[in-house]
C-alpha cells in the first residue's frame, strides 16, 4: 500500500450492470483497477464492493475523480467511501492487565503489516506501561474504579478526539463501554473477545469451556456496539481441544486465538476490507 492510489468501498441495492458502470467510470478517467472484490447478496438484495485503483495515469486530479464519482454513486443509491493511498490509520489501543494482544499489535506494526500510527496506549491499570514506553508510545493511565468510571471514559474520549484517532482497539480492555461511547465511535471500535461468540459470553469463558468439555475453543474479533459482545463479527479463530487439556492449557491456546483473530481483524479494517451491514460485517480478505 505504499504506491499512490485510492480504495473505494461501496454498498447499494443490487441491480444489473453495477460492475460495468463502476469499471467504466474508472477506465473513463484512465484509472487502473488493481483489485475489484464484489459480493451480491441474493437474500438481502444488496451489492457490496471493494476496489483498489492506481491513480498514476488519471486524466484528472484524484480529488476531482473522487468528487465526480458522486453522480454515479447517487444514481446507484449507494453508500461509498474513498481512501487515498498510502496512509496510516491513527489508532489508540486500550488495555488493562494482559499484554499479549498489545504485543501482537506492536510486533505486526513494526513489521509493516499494519498501516497504523499508534497515537497512544490507554490503560486503566499500569501493567502495560513499560511495554508502551519501550516502544516509545505515550501511555495514559486512567483511573476508572468505582465512581471514577464515567469520568474516566470522558478522559478517554478527550484523548481520542485530541489525537484525531480513527480506530480504537480494545486489546483485552476489561471495561464495558457506555452506550454513548459506543455510538460516538460506531464502526471505529474493534474488540477481541476471549471466546468463540456467541458461546460462553461473559466472565471466565475458559472455565465454562472446560466444564462443558468442548472440543474447540476460539476467539472473536468484532466491532463494538451498545449490545454487549454482539457487534458485527470481523474474524474468528479456533483451536482444537483434547480431553487432557486443563483450564490453563485452554487459556494458553486461547491467547493464540486472540492474537491471530485480532491481528486479522485490524488488518481487514485498516485496509478497508470490511463493510458493516446491520448486525454483520462483510469482509473481503486479502
Name the residues annotated as catalytic. 229
How distant is the alpha carbon of residue 85 from its chain centre? Answer: 18
Judge residue 200's burial from the number of C-beta atoms within 10 Å of its C-beta, 0-12 exposed, 13-18 middle, 19 or more buried: buried
Q: How far is CA 175 from CA 64, 94, 202, 222, in A?
A: 44, 10, 12, 16
Query: Cis (ω within 30 of 0) for the bond into 252?
Result: no
* Closest-CA residue to 252 (of 220, 277, 219): 219
CA angle, 114 as apex, 285 and 30 as ends, to 5°? 65
Question: What is the spatial distance between Cα 114 and Cα 266, in angstroms, rounded to a whole number?
Answer: 8
Helical axes 247-270 vs 100-110, angle rounded to 10°: 40
Amino acid at each position: 500500500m505504499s504506491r499512490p492510489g485510492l480504495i473505494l468501498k461501496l454498498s447499494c441495492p443490487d441491480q444489473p450492470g453495477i460492475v460495468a458502470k463502476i469499471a467504466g467510470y474508472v477506465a473513463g478517467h484512465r484509472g487502473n483497477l488493481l483489485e475489484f472484490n464484489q459480493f451480491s447478496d441474493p437474500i438481502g438484495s444488496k451489492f457490496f464492493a471493494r476496489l483498489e485503483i492506481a491513480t498514476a495515469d488519471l486524466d484528472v486530479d484524484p480529488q476531482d475523480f473522487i468528487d465526480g464519482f458522486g453522480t454515479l454513486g447517487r444514481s446507484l443509491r449507494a453508500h461509498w467511501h474513498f481512501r487515498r493511498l498510502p496512509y496510516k490509520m491513527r489508532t489508540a489501543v486500550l488495555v488493562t492487565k494482559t499484554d499479549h494482544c498489545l504485543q501482537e499489535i506492536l510486533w505486526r506494526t513494526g513489521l509493516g503489516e499494519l498501516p497504523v500510527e499508534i497515537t497512544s496506549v490507554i490503560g486503566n491499570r499500569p501493567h502495560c506501561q513499560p511495554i508502551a514506553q519501550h516502544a516509545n508510545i505515550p501511555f495514559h493511565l486512567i483511573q476508572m474504579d468505582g465512581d471514577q468510571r464515567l469520568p474516566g471514559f470522558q478522559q478517554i474520549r478527550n484523548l481520542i478526539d485530541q489525537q484525531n484517532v480513527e480506530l480504537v482497539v480494545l486489546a483485552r480492555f476489561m471495561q464495558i463501554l457506555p452506550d454513548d461511547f459506543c455510538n460516538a465511535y460506531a464502526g471505529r471500535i474493534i474488540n477481541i473477545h476471549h471466546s468463540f461468540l456467541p458461546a460462553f459470553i461473559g466472565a471466565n469463558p475458559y472455565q465454562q469451556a472446560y466444564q462443558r468439555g468442548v472440543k474447540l475453543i476460539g476467539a472473536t474479533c468484532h466491532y463494538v456496539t451498545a449490545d454487549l459482545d454482539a457487534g458485527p463479527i470481523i474474524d474468528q479463530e479456533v483451536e482444537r481441544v483434547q480431553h487432557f487439556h486443563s483450564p490453563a492449557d485452554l487459556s494458553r491456546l486461547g491467547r493464540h486465538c486472540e492474537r491471530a483473530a485480532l491481528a486479522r481483524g485490524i488488518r481487514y479494517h485498516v485496509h478497508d476490507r470490511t463493510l458493516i451491514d446491520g448486525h454483520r460485517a462483510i469482509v473481503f480478505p486479502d
